[in-house]
Amino acid sequence: MNEDGSGLLEPRIEDHSDWLAFSKANAKRVARERRPQMEESSQAKVAAEHLTGDAYWDVFLQQVQAKIKNTEGQLESVKTHFAGPGNPTQEELTGMHRMAVHLRTKLEAFSEVLEMPAEIIKKGEAADAELAGSGDSSEED
């Protein structure tokens, strides 16, 4: 951090090695600042009602949940921009509206995808039970 507390690195570049040192320090700073966001995306928690108990499905659901959080953030950004100060042109308003509709549609699709693994497992169990039940009755005939 600079003396003014801004966090911006001011390069004191006199030769190529100074530039390399500045570039490396700046890259580390950016990586540090992005780490919480990246950790949130990689460790997104899936709501309990969507967990399947199957490790593979649950990893898949975590990835979908991260996409939902990302899309929600994008939608919030569009809403903030839409409600912000200024006089956007009709073309800009139309573009923001289209983007909002697109993002809402993605959220709906992701929400349906979250429900699919549990539905597949439930239907599979019901089918297994029905097959097991019908197999027992056919042997009795």
Q: Are the C-beta atoms of residues 96 and 74 closer than 8 Å to each other?
A: no
Indicate the DSSP class of residue 50.
Answer: G
Q: Which residue has the higher pLDDT, 65 or 26?
A: 65
Q: Which residue has the higher pLDDT, 20 or 138?
A: 20
Q: Are the C-beta atoms of residues 2 and 10 closer than 8 Å to each other?
A: yes
pTM recorded for the entire structure: 0.55
Q: In the predicted model, is pLDDT for residue 24 greater than 80? A: no
| Largest separation between any pair of C-alpha atoms in the chain | 94
Q: In the predicted model, is pLDDT for residue 68 greater than 60? A: yes
Residues 132, 58: Cα–Cα separation, whole Å: 27
Q: Which residue has the higher pLDDT, 16 or 130?
A: 130
Q: In the predicted model, is pLDDT for residue 133 greater than 70? A: yes
The pLDDT of residue 36? 62
